Each structure stands twice: as C-alpha cells, then as structure tokens.
C-alpha cells in the first residue's frame, strides 16, 4: 500500500453547493457520509467536488468529517432554517498573508478603495460609472438602479412587489417573493464565501459593505446577484410553490451552472482588486520565510490543507 495525500481541487471544477439537513455526518472508509440513524442508511457526499456544504439544523458532524472537509478544501457552513441565518463557517480566512495585506491596503487607502468600488460598479452594470463621484454618490446611484431592477424583474415574472423587506429574526413574516430572495441570496453567499476563502482573501474586509463578518462576500455577490439568483427567485415566487426553499435551491444551482459563476468568481475577485493598480506587498527583507514550505497543490491558493 502506498500513502497518497488527499488534496483540494480548484473551486472552478466543483459543483456549487449541497444542503444537508438531518443525520449524523461522519467518515466511513475515508469517505464523507451522512447516516440516517433511524434506518441506518448511509448517503455518500462527494465532498471534494462541491464548493460548500450547508448544514441545516438537525445535523451532527464528527471531528473526522470536519477534518476531511478541511483537507479537501470544502467550506462547511452552519445555517438556520432555509439557509437564511448563518451561524458559523468552517474555514478561517486569510490563509495567505500577502493577499490579506494586499486586500487590506486597498481597503485602507481612500483613493484605492474608490478605484475598487468603481470596478465593482462597472462589472455589475456593464458600464463604467460617471467620473468624479464619491463612494457615497455611487452607493446612491446603485441603490436607485437596484430598486428599479427589482421592480422590472417582478413585473417581468408577474410577482407582486412592495420592495425588498425582510426581518432577519422573523423569516416567516415576509412575503413569498422576499422569502425566495432571502433563500436565493443565502445560496449565493455560500459559494461566494467559499471562493473568497479559496482565493486566500478575508471575507470581512469589504469595500462597499463594512462592519460584518461577510462584508467582502456581499460586495462580490452583489456583482452577479441580479443575473443569477434574483431572476431565479422571482421565477419561483411567481409559481407560489409549496416548498419555496427547495425549489429556490434547485433554481439557484441551475442559474449558477448556466452563468458559470463558480468558474468566474475567483478571476472576478482578482479583477476587482487589480483595479487598485498596486502589486501585492513583498515580504519585509528581514522576514523569515517558512522553514518547511507548503507543498504544491492542484487546488486554489487559499486552501490551507497539507
């Protein structure tokens, strides 16, 4: 028998997400399994081939399973009902100090931050924003455009729309369209966070959004939100489904596949940050390089498994 290490594969070669509700998550013969304790059924999950696993209430995860998910670079996300609330995520960010410092440098300098925000605006709306605008002004323009887009899509799919209103503590209280939108954005945030971590950046250091553990996730997700999950959510909402979350997830997975979001996310993150037009900072001359360098991996740079 030969020893052969287990390594992560690139984010772009993966499926988007798998939701797991109910069951004991464990490792059997080295594979990631969900065991239904009532009738002892096992379900294999190709953990290395998905970007993120969203664990819903009713799951228990063994230490071995968390270790395996970390080794293959798959993000575990603990979510509430319907994936709307996020409790925790299983991969610490900032695995690459050079990328973290680069991101922080761009966020700290006002003129660099404006360049990055302008690039986000350009990628999102397909045209560069008018020059000489502050971030505050860009935010205002963005808000107006977003409200108009929601109205337009609601009209197109024949959904009653009274604006994006939701109460994060009372999920059931919002209307069907808003519930579908919340479930859909949760899916998008999951894969976006997995991509940001895989690329080696920090989810908390945002440019437009700030002050939340996932600020950068919201920044990046907003770029593709209106071409992927929002139309999918409205399409489902128009049908008044019995199980909105399930249908929204399926629709989101299709939307991600069609728009090749997973393939685009990491290059998009690099593209947005490159708008600042600075190089990642080199290590200080007296800095100690690692005594035992990381082995080469087929995966992405931010995966910290051996």
Partner 1 sequence: MAMLVVVTEAVPPRLRGRLAIWLLEIRAGVYVGDVSQRIREMIWEQVDALAEDGNVAMAWASNHESGFEFQTYGTNRREPIDHDGLRLVRFLPQEAN
> Which residues sit at the interface with partner 1, rule CB under 8 A?
1-4, 6-7, 9, 13, 27-32, 44, 46-49, 68, 72, 298
| Residue with the two structure tokens 């209106």 | 226
Measured from the CB atom, the residue of 68 and 255 that comes closer to partner 1 is 68
Quote the CA–CA distance of 198 and 173 in Å, as a whole number: 35
Measured from the CB atom, the residue of 71 and 179 that comes closer to partner 1 is 71
Which residues, 6+ apart, have CB-to-CB distance to 164 below 8 Å?
150, 178, 181
In whole angstroms, the minimum distance from the beta carbon of 52 to partner 1 comes to: 15
Report residue 162 as tokens.
């009274």
How big is the chain, counted in residues?
A: 306
In whole angstroms, the minimum distance from the beta carbon of 1 to partner 1 comes to: 6
Measured from the CB atom, the residue of 46 and 140 that comes closer to partner 1 is 46
Quote the CA–CA distance of 75 and 62 in Å, as a whole number: 15
Burial 195-226 (b: 16+ CB within 10 A, else e): bbbbbbbbbbbbbbbeeeebbbbbbbbbbbbb
Measured from the CB atom, the residue of 73 and 302 that comes closer to partner 1 is 73
In whole angstroms, the minimum distance from the beta carbon of 252 to partner 1 comes to: 19
In whole angstroms, the minimum distance from the beta carbon of 3 to partner 1 comes to: 7
Measured from the CB atom, the residue of 49 and 88 that comes closer to partner 1 is 49
In whole angstroms, the minimum distance from the beta carbon of 47 to partner 1 comes to: 6
Sheet of 41-44: strand order equals 41-44, 31-36, 23-28, 59-61
Sheet of 75-79: strand order equals 15-20, 50-55, 75-79, 86-89
In whole angstroms, the minimum distance from the beta carbon of 212 to partner 1 comes to: 33
In whole angstroms, the minimum distance from the beta carbon of 46 to partner 1 comes to: 5
Measured from the CB atom, the residue of 45 and 181 that comes closer to partner 1 is 45
Measured from the CB atom, the residue of 7 and 85 that comes closer to partner 1 is 7
Interstrand relation of 15-20 and 50-55 (parallel, antiparallel or unpaired): parallel
Quote the CA–CA distance of 20 and 17 in Å, as a whole number: 10
Cα-to-chain-centroid distance, residue 170: 23
């Amino acid at each position: 028998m030969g020893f052969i290490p287990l390594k992560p594969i690139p984010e772009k070669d993966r499926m988007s997400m798998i939701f797991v509700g109910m069951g004991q998550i464990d490792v059997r013969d080295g594979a990631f399994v969900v065991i239904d304790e009532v009738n002892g059924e096992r379900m294999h999950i190709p953990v290395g081939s998905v970007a993120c696993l969203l664990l819903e209430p009713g799951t228990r995860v063994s230490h071995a399973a968390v270790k395996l998910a970390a080794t293959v670079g798959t993000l575990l996300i603990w979510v509430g009902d319907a994936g709307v609330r996020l409790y925790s995520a299983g991969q610490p960010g900032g695995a690459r100090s050079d990328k973290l410092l680069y991101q922080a440098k761009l966020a700290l300098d006002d003129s660099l931050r404006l360049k990055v925000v302008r690039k986000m605006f350009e990628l999102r709306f397909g045209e560069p924003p008018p020059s000489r605008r502050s971030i505050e002004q860009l935010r205002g323009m963005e808000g107006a455009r977003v409200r108009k887009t929601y109205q337009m899509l609601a009209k197109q799919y024949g959904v009653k729309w009274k604006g994006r209103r939701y109460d994060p503590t009372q999920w059931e209280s919002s209307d069907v369209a808003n519930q579908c939108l919340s479930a859909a954005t949760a899916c998008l945030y999951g894969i976006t966070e997995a991509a940001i971590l895989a690329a080696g950046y920090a989810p908390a250091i945002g440019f437009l959004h700030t002050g939340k553990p996932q600020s950068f996730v919201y920044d990046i997700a907003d770029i593709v939100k209106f071409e992927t999950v929002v139309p999918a959510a409205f399409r489902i909402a128009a049908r008044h489904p019995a199980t909105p979350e399930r249908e929204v997830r399926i629709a989101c997975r299709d939307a991600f596949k069609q728009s090749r979001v997973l393939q685009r996310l990491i290059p998009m993150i690099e593209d947005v940050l490159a708008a600042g037009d600075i190089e990642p900072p080199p290590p200080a001359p007296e800095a100690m390089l690692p005594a035992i360098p990381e082995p080469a991996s087929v995966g992405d740079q931010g995966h910290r498994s051996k």
